[in-house]
A and B are shown apart, each in its own frame.
Chain A
Amino acid sequence: MLAELDSIKSDALIVIEAINDDSGLEEARVGFLGKKGRLTAASAGMRDVPKDQKKDVGQKLNEVRTAITAALDEKGAALTATRDTAAFASIDATLPSRSLPQGGLHPLTHVLNEAVSILRRMGFALAEGPEIETEWHCFDALNTPEDHPARNESDTFYFENGKLLRTHTSSVQIRTMEKEVPPVRIIAPGSAFRRDEIDATHLSAFHQLEGLYVDKKVTLADLKGTLEYFFRELFGSKTEVRFRPHFFPFTEPSFEVDLKLHATGKAAKWIEIAGCGIVDPAVFSEVSGKRGDLAYDPEDISGFAFGMGLDRLAMIMYGIPDLRLLIENDVRFLGQFTK
């Protein structure tokens, strides 16, 4: 009996070893372990085994069944593995991807988002105002003389009803101060318009970012610290910033802000990036007159304001040579800013 079991085992292992498909595997399982299989038949002979040998034979029987089962399982796993390998063997992973449509944000949006996120970290909240403005909000309230060239129809777009397209986002300063009392700390990104022919460095509609901080005892030192921090966050901590005296009707003193630009292969040079200054008391007086209260009494409060061109920031940050690229919206151009 023991010898028979041994021979079943060795036969089974030889048969299983030779199997090369699932049907062969199933055939072997049935042939040895099935109801009519050789091992099943042999185990039926247990009842004829003398009592003193039953234990040994029983053990042998189990050992042979376990061995055959293990061999079948092993073979099964090997067959699956071979099939898996074969199934993926023809794949060429070096083929280009199945393309997904590529999308992305306009470079100006990237610049704007970055600038806004820095300024928000510093505690500025966003503000907005209409782009079709009154002459009062755009010029009078901003201390612009009656016959200032900017008011001219050759420089500014007007409507029949006397309103105009705002020439700067500074009008949002006035809109905000009309509604809110100090302390005010706002930024206002938005469009501004000038009656310029479009060329590489001019757009008739462009984007600005305005800032205004009004409180008690706001100083030039605050303005300097704020803008230095902002530009170093935006362009890197080693960015050199300088303030050049300048003139704007609505700030006094007024400065232009330059950054030192290090373009590869060129000598570093200062480039103009923003205008800023201490809010002119005349602006507060205009606002107070409109509000009819003392919330913006120039004797009591002070403020700083700044403004910069976002299109220009984008040109500098991405090395864009021609402003017209920003309004052309060629998707090959837009695709360069998706990373």
Chain B
Amino acid sequence: MHVSLKWLSDHVDFSEYSMAELDDLLTFAGIEVEGIQSLPDNLVVAEVLSSDKHPDADKLSICQVDDGSGKSRQIVCGAKNYKVGDKVPLALPGCLLDAGDGETFEIKEGKLRGVESLGMMCAASEIGLTDDVDGLMLLSPALEPGTPLSEVYPAVFQLEITPNRPDCLSHLGVARELAALAKKELAGVGHYGDSSTATREAKEDEIKISTESCPYYAARSIRGVKVGQSPAWLKEKLESIGLRPINNIVDITNYVMMEMGQPLHAFDMTMLNGGIHVREAAAGEEFLALDGEVYPLTEEDMVIADSAKAIAIGGVMGGEDSGVTEATTDVLLESAYFVTSKVRRTARRLNLHSDSSYRFERGVDPHQVNGASDLATRLILELAGGRADEEIVTCGEIPVVPASVSLNNDYCRSVIGADIKDDSIEAILTSLGLSKGDHGWQIPTYRLDLIRPVDLVEEVARVYGLDNVPSNHGAWFSPASKADQAFDYVSILQSRLSSQGFFEVRNLKLISDQQLRDDLATNHRGMSPIRLKNPLNDEQDYLRPGLVPGLLATASRNQRFGNADLRLFEMGRVFTATPKGGEVEHEHLAMLMMGGRRSRNWADAKPSNLDIHDLRAALEEVCPNGLNLVAVDDDRMLCACSIEIGRGKKAVKLGLAGIVLPARARELDLEAPVLVAEMNLKRLAAASTSERNYEELPKFPGSSRDVAMLVSADMAAGTVADFFANHEEPLLESVELFDVFQDPNGEKLPADKKSFAYSIYYRSENRTLEAVEVEAAHAKLLDSLKSGLDVEFR
């Protein structure tokens, strides 16, 4: 909300406050100051003395203006809406005007089509006052040329009023709050509160309410008004807070809303057809609002109607046909109380937000409905003439707001944790307009938020200030939770992987339909990805079922940035739906590797590319115990492997690893082989034993034997590894594959064969082995290899 300092000073005198002090006062009232707008220097009132056509430009005029200096100043101007004698804003050379996006531009002396121009005459939008771009802003004729415009339109605060404080959505409301906090007198409140004007209950044919969403409706007729421009003081007030003046009647209703927080609406009485009927809209009813748009209504919406049709959407916006125009002579002034939720729902559904709906949605003080009507009526009579009916015609009852709230001062102290004296508590509440009665604290009707004792505690805490509350802290003992253990496990993996040259990435958890095909994690037993009901766009409409889609997108982006060699990992949550419609959330770890094994440098000018064996090394880093990659069929990858810990029936399946299909990689502009792996972190944690146990180091030397063998070219090393793992030989300590050789030309080896060479180590834990023992064990192993795997020894 925009609040003008000059307007506030109608009610409170803050002349001795600096801007910074006022900022602080507002801030610690709980009213956030989002910005302070003030007009720039070198922007003054100027009077147009003459205006002549530019000799070389049809659309330009050459004006002489009085800038208050005593000498006339020549300005070339493109606007047409002024006449000689008008007062307009003039930006002098050196004036910095807002150019949007935090930039400014400086007004300089210059030539326009060859004619000297010593400044710029401005539209309201150009100096940031209102959004009016139509021609020059015409100022009050009473202003003296040379007056700085910042005196006419002083500083304006942009305030964020929290939803619990609708009472601050007006100048009077903010002034009341600040006066209480600054312990100042609040002036100019004569019009506030219940009206002294006589009221009369409406006859059935005058006002009828057939909805619960309008508890109270008041109307006042004013006949014989003269619609015209508002006087300068009123225009300046509205312009200063960014409202464009329309005509005196509309300006007055806006003024009263911004002054008191009560939205009003003025109808042209002659355009009305019979009495007022506040009702639910009919399904399919359409409404032409004064913004020129047609809104389709539903039975959920409330309208103000005459006997023929809707003339306003209750609390939101009036109609195009029934508004006040220059031809209007008789006015029906509406002042009403609408139920917050009703207005909110309609405004939101129609995406039609007005200053009026903003206030009704949050709640207005029902006890000022007639007072606001009075103020507006008085101003209309003063500024537009006419005669007002003696009575306000009303329908419904003014709702009763909670009268009193009791507060135990000990409770107040126990929440705040400070020893605030009874006197101070009471002084604070009194300053805010509460009064102490027999049944607790009497709440002013505008404080719709004060309902429970804790609401009063908040007021005390707010005004007392947290600066005055002591700072307590104590340590505590918390046993580690499961979340703590998971966090620590993740930290270990993070440091292992990052020290292996992996960068941790964090991708958005929302992905596109297109990206779903990159997912490796969704297992096929009926699990499916989860789609949002209301995605923002089709780039982010699914919750990620796995991490690989995001990693691939990240890799693709990095290629575009010129980062060819990538080692990436991500840990985070993934989401899938169960066949029965439930959701499961898992923590996953995924890795992606591509590009050179190391970056090109003087020692290695042509580094080899990362391959699946590097991926395996990385996997071993996170699965230190018994990692086993088992080839599986999976059409989403080449060389697809199931990542398992342990072998055979006891193996725990953690996830999948492999090479992204080259066709898909190319679609993502990824050239090199792209290696990916993804696994379930919880299963990984459970399968990884973190126990650290001492084992006795071998005391006796062992002995190694090498064996080179020819196997069929399609035999997997894992098959041989499985054989060794299952070979029962107590002396066998370790097996290491140290050479793999294949000759596709069939010269050194048959083309359908390959050679594996292993170094096999034998050792006993309690003696030095005799050569014959080793030979015997080794011969047994070779026999068994030959019969078990059909190999030939080289």
Contacts and interface: CB of A to CB of B under 8 A. Distances in A.
Interface of A: 95-96, 98-106, 108-109, 113, 116, 120-128, 130-132, 146-147, 149, 152-154, 157-161, 163, 165, 183, 185-186, 188, 191, 193, 195-197, 203-205, 217, 219-222, 224-226, 228-229, 242-247, 252-256, 278, 280-281, 302, 326-332, 334-335, 338
A42 B264 CA distance: 134
Interface in B473-528: 473-481, 483-484, 486-487, 491, 494, 497-510
Residue of A101, A120, A123, A154 with most partner-chain B CB within 10 A: A101
A98 B604 contact: yes
Interface in B417-469: 417-418, 452, 454-455, 457-458, 461-462, 466-467, 469
6 contacts: A101-B567, A106-B505, A131-B573, A153-B534, A229-B473, A335-B503
A298 to B, nearest CB: 9
Interface string B571-611: 00101000001010100000000000111011110000000
A121 B473 CA distance: 12
A9 B651 CA distance: 77
Interface stretch (B26-34, B103-111, B713-721, B769-777): B26-34
Contacts of B750: none
Contact of B533 (A158, A204, A254, A334): A158
Contact of A243 (B164, B466, B534): B466
Contact of B28 (A102, A127, A245): A245
A42 B493 CA distance: 74
Nearest to A189: B487
Contacts of A335: 503
Nearest to A121: B475
Interface residues of B, number: 91
Contacts of B604: 98
Contacts of B563: 330-332
Given A127-B483, A246-B30, A221 B601 contact: no
B348 interface: yes
Given A152-B348, A159-B533, A220-B466, A253 B598 contact: no
B28 A244 contact: yes
A104 B487 CA distance: 17
Contact of B472 (A193, A219, A332, A338): A219
Contacts of A229: 471, 473
A221 B573 contact: no
Contact of A247 (B27, B162, B484): B162
A266 B684 CA distance: 48
B354 to A, nearest CB: 16
Given A158-B533, A221-B471, 17 more contacts: A100-B501, A106-B503, A122-B473, A130-B585, A131-B509, A131-B585, A132-B585, A149-B348, A159-B531, A159-B583, A188-B483, A205-B508, A224-B472, A246-B30, A253-B458, A330-B558, A338-B498
A102 to B, nearest CB: 6
Main secondary structure of the interface of A (DSSP, over half): mixed
Interface centre among A98, A132, A242 (most CB of B within 10 A): A132
B601 A99 contact: yes
B265 interface: no
Given A128-B483, A330-B563, A101 B416 contact: no
A334 B252 CA distance: 58
Given A221-B471, A225-B472, A245-B462, A331 B558 contact: yes
A203 B601 CA distance: 39
Contact of B471 (A99, A108, A224): A224
A226 B583 contact: no
Contacts of B487: 116, 126
B189 interface: no
Q: Which 5 pairs from chain A and chain B are nearest by CB? A: A219-B417, A101-B501, A221-B417, A245-B30, A123-B476
A197 B499 contact: no
A170 to B, nearest CB: 16
Contacts of A132: 530, 543, 575, 583, 585
A254 B530 CA distance: 36
Contacts of B467: 242-243
B417 A99 contact: no
Contacts of B474: 222
A205 B583 contact: no
Contacts of B340: 147
Contacts of B416: 219-221
Contacts of B164: 247
Contacts of A254: 458
B484 A185 contact: no
A120 B479 CA distance: 11
Given A104-B498, A132-B575, A243-B466, A161 B601 contact: no
Contacts of B498: 103-105, 338
B162 A103 contact: no
Given A131-B585, A160-B533, A204-B510, A126 B504 contact: no
A195 B162 contact: no
Given A101-B598, A126-B481, A159-B530, A221 B504 contact: no
Contact of A219 (B348, B414, B476, B494): B414
Interface string B16-48: 000000000001111010000000000000000
Given A125-B480, A247-B162, A224 B466 contact: yes
B481 A127 contact: yes
B190 interface: no
Contacts of A160: 531, 533
Contact of A252 (B417, B454, B507, B510): B454
B548 to A, nearest CB: 14
A105 B504 contact: yes
Given A220-B415, A329-B558, A330-B557, A123 B532 contact: no
A147 B344 contact: yes
Listed residue (B348, B462, B498, B504) with the most chain A CB atoms within 10 angstroms of its CB: B504
A334 B534 contact: no
Contacts of B506: 106, 108-109, 326-327, 329
B501 A252 contact: no
Contacts of B554: 328-329
A219 B415 CA distance: 5
A84 to B, nearest CB: 22
Nearest to B581: A161
Nearest to B473: A225
B71 to A, nearest CB: 39
Given A95-B602, A127-B481, A221-B418, A329 B505 contact: yes
Nearest to B555: A329
Contacts of A185: 476, 478
Contacts of A100: 501, 598
Interface string B389-422: 0000000000000000000000000111110000
